[in-house]
Structure 1
Amino acid sequence: PLGTVLFPDGWMPLRIFEVRYLDMINRCIKAGAPFGVVCLTEGSEVRRIDPDAPTGFAREAFHPVGTLARIDQVERPQAGLILIRCRGQQRFHIRSSQQLPHGLWMGDVTLDTPEPRVPVPEHLASARDALRRVLDNLHERDPGTMNDLPLQPPYHWDDSGWVANRWAELLPLPAELKQRLMVLDNPLLRLELVSDLLDRMGVER
């Protein structure tokens, strides 16, 4: 559970230091397996003590739709700390979940079918072109920061869902709105909604 949303093909850096997640990440690395990312609806990313709660810890709740995360890079700068870079894969729906005694959530999930690629239509091409300009400007300003951007190759400029997802990651949107965009099954509708957001936010296109 995180305070943000991971989109398919999205890139996310994470600092792992809680025992429950150190255990999870180490097992994922050893098995070459992904893990699931879900957006919190209640609670925080770091487990909080709550003496009044039955478990002794604050309640954590999250959306029932999340995204698999594949670990691409791992660093261990010191004991008890793992830095990872992961990339979003398929979405999933949670059928059931339970929290282990040390706080790790385990879920029984159904994987969604990978989203089909839908070409960017002409009336939404300006949203795609604006995203390309953002990337070009960032590259010109400081080429050394490219590895830290949420927008990473491979680039699929003629894929409506991919363009919409990258804008949704970049824009300063509430996590709840990002979640609603992520779960939409229609990539063209997602890009249309993102295009409307760009207009409302005054993003030049």
Structure 2
Amino acid sequence: MGADMTEIAVFPIPQCVAFPGTHFPLHVFEPRYRTMVEHCIETGLPLAICHVEKQVREAPKDQTLSEALNSNQATYRPVQLVTAGECRLHETLQDGRMMISVALDQRYRLDREVQALPFMIFDATPVDDDPMSPEEAHEAQLLKDKLMHRLLALTADSVEIQATLNSDTWIQKPVDAFSFELFSLLQTDPDIMQNLLEMRSPLARMKTALDLLSEVPAQL
């Protein structure tokens, strides 16, 4: 494993694109993924939540809850760029299901699969944004202000989102963090979200977000 590589466990979920700076809640019931969660918590291994490239194996059909809790479901090939972070267990139910969250903090490129069963582990390389020039940084700050005003206008009926956007935390959030975390509020097609995740420029992400906010399919 290279000096910059690290091992991460991978949880591929269709249509789920996770961004750095966000918390991802999960209800885990498959045996292999319950084992994965236990391993990540015991060892501190980062857990990646990611979109998928394709389905490798279909899930069994017409299962009862008991059968689903004791068998693995569909298997997917993950996308190559993912976001990972610390896995936290909140509750284990009597039937073994787990309520967890993942504090996502870093993008990774999946380089080499080192374990396939019972769950996937990859050697992965951290992926960071490219540096911005002073001019780009200034433009990004102006774009952040435009996005904040647009988001406030579109969410006028949501007390919770308005409180979030008007908080000091969001007002003072650096543009690089803002350009990721705004997608906890703005949802659109998962392939578009994956493309946004793969961008290495806060300015490019925010320009795309502003375009999305002018289109009907984008949902808050």
Bucket of the pairwise TM-score, normalised by the shorter protein: 0.7 to 0.9
**Counterpart residue type for residue 15 of structure 1:** H
Q: Which residue of 2 aligns with 1:2?
A: 13
Contact 2:156 2:162 in 1 (8 A): no
Q: Does 1:193 align with 2:208?
A: yes
Deviation at 1:11, TM superposition (A): 1.5
Q: Quick one: distance in 1 between partners of 2:161 and 2:191?
A: 31
1:38 maps to which of 50, 55, 60: 50
CA distance in 1 between partners of 2:143 and 2:129 (Å): 25
Aligned partner (choices 77, 99, 106) of residue 90 of structure 1 = 106
Aligned-partner SS, 1:195: helix
Residue in structure 1 matching 2:186, options 157, 162, 171 = 171
Shift of 1:47: 6.3
Q: In the alignment, residue 37 of structure 2 is paired with which amino acid? A: I
Q: Is 1:29 matched up with 2:26?
A: no
The residue that corresponds to 1:67 in the other structure is: 83
Paired with 2:75 and 2:217, the residues of 1 have a C-alpha distance of: 38
Equivalent pair of 2:128/2:200 in contact (CA under 8 Å)? no
Query: 1:110 aligns to what?
Result: 125
In the alignment, what sits opposite 1:126? Answer: 146
- How far residue 129 of structure 1 moved from its aligned partner, in angstroms, is 3.0
C-alpha separation in 1, matches of 2:207 and 2:143: 9
8 A contact 1:124–1:192 mirrored in 2: no
**Contact 1:128–1:163 (8 Å) recurs in 2:** no
Distance 1:30 1:110 in 2: 22
Question: Secondary structure, in 3 states, of the residue corresponding to 2:92?
Answer: strand
Alpha carbons of structure 1 residues 122 and 75: separation in structure 2 relative to 1, 3 Å = same
- In 2, are the aligned partners of 1:17 and 1:82 still within 8 Å (CA)? yes
Cα 1:140/1:156, change in 2 over 3 Å = closer
Percent of aligned pairs sharing the same letter = 21
SS of equivalent residue, structure 2 residue 98: strand
Distance 2:127 2:212 in 1: 26
- 1:149 corresponds to which residue? none
Q: How many residues align?
A: 189
Runs of 4+ in 1 over 6 A off after TM superposition: 114-117, 133-136
Question: What's 1:19 paired with?
Answer: 31
Match for residue 59 of structure 2?
48
Task: Give the equivalent residue in structure 2 for 1:54.
Answer: none
For structure 1, which runs of at least 5 residues remain unmatched after alignment?
Answer: 51-56, 147-151
Q: 1:16: how far off? A: 0.8
Q: Give the Cα–Cα distance (whole angstroms) in 2 for the partners of residues 82 and 153 of structure 1.
A: 33
CA displacement at 1:153 relative to structure 2: 9.6
2:19 aligned counterpart, secondary structure: coil
